[in-house]
Copies of this chain bind each other. A is one copy, B any other.
Amino acid sequence: MYLHGRNVLREILALPAGRLNVKRIIFTDSENADAGLRRLEDGARSRGWKIEFAGAERLFQLCREKKNQGVLIEIKRFPYADLDELLSPPSAGGESTLVVLDRIQDPHNLGAIVRSCAAAGGDGIVIGTHSAAEVTPAVVKVSSGLVFRLPVVRVANIAATLEKLKKRGYWIYASAMAGPSLWKTDFAPKTALVFGNESEGIRRLVRERSDHLISIPMEPGVDSLNVAASAAVVLFERRRRLGERAVPAEN
């Protein structure tokens, strides 16, 4: 799998050693490569990764993306996490925010939700293995590489996973068109936010496992937002409520 983009390589360089199996990094062979690209090359070199150079044509052939910013990262596969890894150790202060996606199909939406989740201080993402976008190079790019900051877990059964989360102390909030206002919702210290498919929303079996429905108050006659917009609104409302307490020290 060929990932591309400078932010993506920057995030990969920040990963703990051994977290990701990097096969090689391919930089543009253009002599106009700027200082930013040179710094990334130094970083990749110091990690001991295999480095190659290629022309613009070849870079495009490999990743099928013109806007690759002169850098490709070849990895074997995206490093999904286990659910157990996601759930332990608990976050500092006992507060935690997870995002669970029920059949999100547009890679652009998945990437944007991952980015918002990381930006809002969420602790991880759960996606399904069926009828759902997986983490592709496009998703990595749209997430601005932030998909590497969070554990992303793929599970066969979303409803059963919600049961496991509840056993670990999470309360489940399902985003729906109807339901109590987001602004009047009290979130539990351990909160899992569920968002559903772009056109069909959350499946009944998944909704039935949820503790609360929440909806974003909207203009009359408008029945839904883009799911990535909804997720951003809910995630940052959650962050607003947590206030400064949940902001970890800069590392």
Contacts and interface: CB of A to CB of B under 8 A. Distances in A.
A119 interface: yes
Contact of A228 (B146, B217, B229, B236): B229
Contacts of A115: 225-226, 229
Contacts of A250: 220-221
Given A119-B219, A220-B251, A232 B225 contact: yes
A181 to B, nearest CB: 9
A43 interface: no
A233 interface: yes
A116 B240 CA distance: 20
Interface residues of A, number: 38
A116 B228 CA distance: 11
Interface in A121-148: 121, 142, 144, 146
A120 B224 CA distance: 11
Contacts of A94: none
Most buried by B among A112, A120, A219, A221: A219
A119 B177 CA distance: 12
B233 A220 contact: no
Contact of A233 (B146, B219, B233): B233
Given A225-B115, A226-B112, A120 B218 contact: yes
A205 interface: no
A196 to B, nearest CB: 16
A118 B219 contact: yes
Nearest to A228: B229
A-B pairs with the 8 shortest C-beta distances?
A229-B232, A220-B250, A119-B222, A119-B218, A233-B236, A112-B226, A121-B219, A232-B232
24 contacts: A108-B108, A112-B226, A115-B225, A115-B229, A116-B226, A116-B229, A118-B219, A119-B218, A119-B219, A119-B224, A120-B218, A120-B219, A121-B219, A217-B247, A219-B247, A219-B248, A220-B249, A220-B250, A221-B250, A228-B228, A228-B229, A229-B231, A232-B232, A232-B233
Given A115-B226, A221-B250, A225-B232, 14 more contacts: A116-B226, A118-B219, A119-B225, A216-B236, A217-B239, A219-B248, A220-B247, A220-B249, A220-B251, A226-B228, A228-B228, A229-B232, A233-B233, A233-B236
